[in-house]
Structure 1
Amino acid sequence: MIYKVYFQNDQKRNPKREDTHSLYVEADTEVEARAQVEAHTEHNIEFIEAIEGNSLAYEQQNPNYKVTEFGE
């Protein structure tokens, strides 16, 4: 399943909507998606949502759509 992870680049500042970024991760569960991002980045995760079906098709139309793969 593909998860869209909303995050802030900095864990030390309060989140601001204007600074929210997102990335896409393939994982079996939301917990696994969170673990991947936390293990490989310093991002402050705000929210994680599963995307599938029409939502996934819509996201894939964005030229910036790319599933992030973390090296082990």
Structure 2
Amino acid sequence: MVYKVLYQEDALEIPVREHTKSLYVRAQTEREVRQFLKERNVNIEFIQLLNDQHLAYEQQSEFFRVEND
């Protein structure tokens, strides 16, 4: 399963839409995603499990890259 993570680069940064970044992580659970990102100093806003249609849409982006593949 692939999760999309919306985050701010600094854990102390207040979420501002214009500064929100995204990344994709392959994991079995949301907890595994959080474990994977634990060492990074990021402020996680939202973690979303991508269904097949949403994943296909995201894969069309030139910036799509799964972090832990």
In the superposition, the TM-score normalised over structure 2's length comes to 0.92
Distance 1:5 1:46 in 2: 8
Distance 1:13 1:36 in 2: 20
How far does the alpha carbon of each residue in 1:15-60 deviate from its partner, in whole angstroms, 9 at most, with x for none?
1111000000000101111111123x11110000000211000000
In the superposition, the TM-score normalised over structure 1's length comes to 0.89
Following TM superposition, the consecutive aligned residue runs of length 4 or more in structure 1 with deviations greater than 2 angstroms are: none
**Unmatched tracts of structure 1, length 5 or more:** none
Aligned to 1:16: 16
Aligned-residue offset at 1:14 = 1.1
Distance 1:30 1:64 in 2: 22
Kindly report the root-mean-square deviation, in angstroms, between the aligned alpha carbons of the 2 structures. Answer: 1.3
Q: How many residues align?
A: 69
Letter in 2 for 1:26: R
Aligned to 2:68: 69
Q: Write out aligned runs for 1:38-57 (5 A).
A: 38-39=38-39, 41-57=40-56
